[in-house]
Amino acid sequence: MPADPLSRVFSALADPTRRDMVARLAVADATVNGLAEPYDVSVQAVSKHLKVLEDAGLVSRSRQAQRRPVHLEADVFDLMTTWIERYRRQAEERYRRLDDVLQTMPDDVDTPTPSTQTGAPS
């Protein structure tokens, strides 16, 4: 329960069955039994999956008689995309700059094997 939101979302989508549920919920809301129908698992297992998705904020549920329609909350996707884009941009920018090879290796300053540089360090 005390996991950070980002971990919960990534973890929730790490399961193929849950990803498939999300994919189907993107098309239309569904009930638990309706969601469980294509899979070869018990309805209780699907209910557990839905709890994981709900705890991650990916899904919300209302009441309708004895049914509990499941609705996809796509806003949480932004949590991931912002995180991903941030570091991808950093990595790409670093890749674009060529001089970063000078900074990649030295863990400590006294590099044991000197002069391996191309000899013309600016």
Partner DNA sequence: TTGCTCTTCAACCGACTGGTTGACAACAAG
Partner DNA sequence: CTTGTTGTCAACCAGTCGGTTGAAGAGCAA
Residues that bind DNA (CB under 7 A): 11, 14-15, 17, 31-34, 40-45, 47-52, 61, 63, 65-69, 107, 112-114, 117
Instruction: For residue 52, give the 3-state DSSP assignment.
Output: helix
Contact (CB, 8 A) for 59 and 73: yes
**CB-nearer residue toward DNA: 82 or 117:** 117
Binding flag, residue 41, a second copy (CB under 8 A): no
Place of tokens 């297992």: 45
Tokens of 14: 């790490």
Q: HSE (CB half, 13 Å, CA atoms) of 91?
A: 6
Q: Is 90 in the site for a second copy (CB under 8 A)?
A: yes
Q: Which residues pair with 59 in a beta bridge?
A: 72
Name the residues that contact a second copy, by CB under 8 A.
4, 6-7, 10-11, 13-16, 19, 22-23, 25-31, 33-34, 37, 64-65, 67, 69, 72, 74, 77, 80-81, 83-85, 87-88, 90-92, 94-95, 100, 103-105, 107, 113, 118
